[in-house]
Amino acid sequence: MISPENSSTTGMLSRREALQRAAFLLGAALSPSIVAGVLRAQPAAAGARLSGEHDLALAALAERILPRTDTPGAADVGVPAFIGRMFAEFLTTAERSTLTSGVTALDLGCTARLGRPFAALEGAQQDDEIRRLIGSKDAAEREFLRLTREVVIVGYFTSEKIGKTLLRYEPVPGRYDADIPLSETGGAAWNRP
């Protein structure tokens, strides 16, 4: 619960307060790792950038996770740029390592098995590689896929385009009738459906 003692002395909201209020107002549960990432956000560390090869592979992976159909795909709403920003500013050193080592291993494995890195594969081949990751017994591969999927999904559903075109927000579900006799509601002291 938000309390007056949480407010800063300058009258400005802290990140923690802003997240609490946003979650309260939206009625949504936020992913603990994403919330933790935002709370510990700091200026980008020197060199905390993805390489060009990593960018290509992660963009291709994001598009396979949320492809374009009758709705925009991950690439259409800027998820690859979101991944880069998360990497630079919000992920921990361990999460950065998981992402970079995972995408490196994915590219090396694809090159060894199929002769090309992940981003250069056909869509069906990329899907096969994702299925391989899903069924992998290797904890590092599973963690890489989990982290990547989480960042892709958060990036997608927090994008402006998706927020304006696909998501709906109803501040009060149902119709509100302010003056209903209790006899019409069966004695219940709430609004009728």
Q: With 0.75 as the threshold, say if the pTM is over it.
A: no
Residues 6+ apart with CB under 8 A from 35: 19
Tokens encoding 145:
């896929």
* pLDDT tens sequence for the chain (193 residues): 333 344 444 445 555 555 555 555 444 445 565 556 555 555 555 557 888 889 999 999 999 999 999 889 999 999 999 999 888 888 888 999 999 999 999 999 999 999 999 999 999 999 999 999 999 999 999 999 999 999 999 999 889 888 888 877 666 666 766 777 778 777 666 554 5
Smallest CA-to-CA distance from 102 within 63, 54, 65 is with 54
Tell me the Cα Rg of the chain. 22
